[in-house]
Structure 1
Amino acid sequence: MANSHSPHIEYDAFLFDLDGTLLDTADDLGAALNAVLRAQQMDEVTSDVYRLAASNGAGALLAAGFKDRWPEQPQAELIKQLLDEYATNIAKHTTCFKGVESLLIALDQKKIKWGIMTNKPGFLTDPLVAAIPALKNSCVVISGDTLAEAKPSPLPLLHCAKLMAVKPNRCLYIGDAQRDIQAGKAAGMHTATALWGYIPNNEEALSWKADFNWQSPIDGFNHI
């Protein structure tokens, strides 16, 4: 795998995407999707279907569930139903990916700042982060609707760097979607792809050309 022996570069701050990077939220998102599908007398979908859509928002989840019938659905109404269902059970099954807590503890011990920048809307991000004790020391939590633009725009990442009082080129941004890598590059940050997340496949993820491709959060120890 490319970058398995990445050079030792130390950073002043780590920034993380949330879903598919720090947290495995797929089963809670999938439960919300299946609740909507049941209400519409549609067949539920299995985890192999909803996990692929878990990083891409409510619309992508519903499209995965409704398949070719999605374009004709009352999309705004169904998105609201899914988000309401998800908000009610936001951290029932969600956990940190293996290795995440160890990495965050190590960052804290080394006094390296770390934060969260997700495209998830704030009304979902804030209670979710609050429900996960391992995330309590995050210096910043910026959501998809905090600013006028979300990823792949670099603006939210630059905003994080400013709030953390670090230079963008001294930040490492870690995410599991192409827009994460695009945003990080555009912000002048180094980037790492979270290959354990909700990526379509390794080959496509490598084509995003992040600076690093991590098999596990433990790969982050190379940069502390």
Structure 2
Amino acid sequence: MTDRIPEAVLFDLDGTLADTAPDLIAALERLRLELGLPAIETGPLRECVGRGAVAVLEGGLPELGPADREAFRARFLDDYQARCWEASRPFDGMPDFLDDLESLNIPWGVVTNKLERFARPVMERAGWSGRMGCLVAGDTVTQPKPAPEPVLAACSALGVDPARAVFIGDDERDVIAGRAAGTRTVAALWGYIAEPDRVDAWGADAIAEAPGVLTALLELRCPRAAV
């Protein structure tokens, strides 16, 4: 992918760094139960997670109109915040990749459109809050992704020239934001992608099928990879 080792790596959160869909979907299922609504097929809701709570509620409460869904939004979010890391997990291979970055003293951070009140507890409960170099959330900046502002803010927080950073994400907005900020970009195929066959059109510098290929893709020469 590159002829130089990145000086920092940035990640989207939901669908890239961690599989957070199970806890969001569980909160939706509890809300449906509370409202006396029958169970629904939740598989398709995974693709809604990257687009936020409004999309999850729209997909998970099709019986209700927009005004009614909005009326239950705060209840849904409060429940999710309290239980945001019960079934959520890092994607397979991601812990090893983070270890590889840290073994090379490459800082990493998170750039997410998730509000900080939800993103920070996820990072804390995952055990990452003391390891990440920065967290730029959807309400940390005035213009979230696909605007470049959050990516630029993360690079500034890490003290890295955007041209020396890599941004990894599972949504086209991640690629747009990274390219506009001047970083190299990697599209994460393991995430919440509705149309995987369209990822080529995003214009990312590289496409990764799983976290386990990232160390080789970025040409990192770390002790673990050499074993």
TM-score (norm 2): 0.91
Structure 2, unpaired ranges of 5+? 221-227
Helix, strand or coil at the partner of 1:74: helix
Question: Who is 1:113 aligned against?
Answer: 107
Helix, strand or coil at the partner of 2:72: helix
Shift of 1:43: 2.8
The residue type equivalent to 1:97 in the other structure is: F
Shift of 1:180: 0.8
Deviations 1:18-64 (A, max 9, x none): 01001111110000111222223323333412111111101100111
Question: Who is 1:126 aligned against?
Answer: 120
Identify the match of residue 32 of structure 1 among 6, 27, 34. 27
Question: Who is 1:154 aligned against?
Answer: 148
Question: Who is 1:183 aligned against?
Answer: 177
The residue type equivalent to 2:87 in the other structure is: H
Identify the match of residue 54 of structure 1 among 33, 36, 49. 49
Question: Who is 2:76 aligned against?
Answer: 82
The alignment-based identity, stated in percent, is 32
Is the 1:28–1:90 Cα contact (8 Å) retained in structure 2?
A: yes
Give, in whole Å, the separation in 2 of the partners of 1:15 and 1:127: 18
Helix, strand or coil at the partner of 1:64: helix
Shift of 1:72: 4.3
TM-score (norm 1): 0.92
Question: Who is 1:3 aligned against?
Answer: none
Give, in whole Å, the separation in 2 of the partners of 1:120 and 1:70: 24
Give, in whole Å, the separation in 2 of the partners of 1:193 and 1:81: 33
Give, in whole Å, the separation in 2 of the partners of 1:201 and 1:156: 25
Change (3 A) 1:72 1:100: closer
Identify the match of residue 21 of structure 1 among 10, 13, 16. 16
Structure 1 segments (4+ residues) deviating >3 Å:
6-9, 69-73
Say whether 1:197 aligns with 2:204.
Answer: no
Shift of 1:188: 0.9
The residue type equivalent to 2:98 in the other structure is: L
Give, in whole Å, the separation in 2 of the partners of 1:81 and 1:98: 31
Is the 2:120–2:129 Cα contact (8 Å) retained in structure 1?
A: no
The residue type equivalent to 2:212 in the other structure is: I
- Which deviates more, 187-196 or 30-39? 30-39
Question: Who is 2:98 aligned against?
Answer: 104
Give, in whole Å, the separation in 1 of the partners of 2:214 and 2:164: 15
Helix, strand or coil at the partner of 1:63: helix
Give, in whole Å, the separation in 2 of the partners of 1:154 and 1:23: 22
Q: CA RMSD in A?
A: 1.5
Structure 1, unpaired ranges of 5+? 1-5
